[in-house]
Amino acid sequence: MAFRDDLDALKAQNESLRAQIEGNEERMARAERVLERAEAREDELSAARERILELESGPNGEAARDRRADAARSRRWWTVAVLALGAVALLQWVTHGQTERALEQQLAQTQAELASQRTELADAQEALRAERRAHRDTRRELALAGARPEVPDMDGLAQRAQEQLGDPALLDALRRVPGAERYLAGLEEAQAQAAAAQAAAGQAAAAQAAAAHTDGDRSPAGPTVAGEAPEAEAADSD
């Protein structure tokens, strides 16, 4: 708004200067008319001078010379007045012309600065809108993922999930966290390894139980002490 007010003020000042220039042109026109009247007056004085020359040959020659001197002084005063008025009008016209050109340059510079600031303002508004869009997109992604704006503790969640492999609520919470795929893959692999280890342990326990049952059937006296079994087997073979 300040630049627009300055622009309106410069336009008003420019119109005022134009009005002054038009006034100066009118005064110059009046000065030219005065000069024309002065030239006409000079013609009249020339005619009077010729009349005076005619009268000088008569008995009243001295009085005629005095009248001629008065006419010459009057003509000089008229000439000086007209020249002074023309010089003043010309000086005002030149001064106002320079002022008008300076104001036009200042107005053009102000308009250029205003256009530049409008461009900067548009760029800043566009950057702000882009930042707001990015912020809205981020919040929307977080809302869809069911996560809070804070950065989650991925390592802590992975450690808890590894400690509690059988907790489905913890696994569901971890699946809702963006970027937890590699942790879930590690957990699934750990679960598979744990299940395989449990199956192998079950198979080993079953095999051991079966072997113990078979040994019990072969030796009714009870289980043998470690280190005596080879000797009993050697006695049976004998």
What six digits make up the tokens of 119?
Answer: 């461009």
* pLDDT tier for residue 76 given thresholds of 50, 70 and 90: confident
Output the pLDDT for position 182. 65
pLDDT tens for residues 184-221? 676 677 777 777 777 777 787 777 777 776 765 555 54
Rounded-to-integer distance, Cα 38 and Cα 69, Å: 17
* Mean pLDDT value of segment 11-39: 82
Output the pLDDT for position 228. 43
% of the chain beyond a pLDDT of 90: 0
Rounded-to-integer distance, Cα 237 and Cα 233, Å: 6
**Alpha-carbon radius of gyration of the chain:** 60
Rounded-to-integer distance, Cα 13 and Cα 10, Å: 5
Output the pLDDT for position 149. 45
pLDDT tens for residues 115-163? 888 888 888 888 888 888 888 888 787 777 764 445 455 555 555 555 5
pLDDT tens for residues 97-119? 778 788 888 888 888 888 888 88
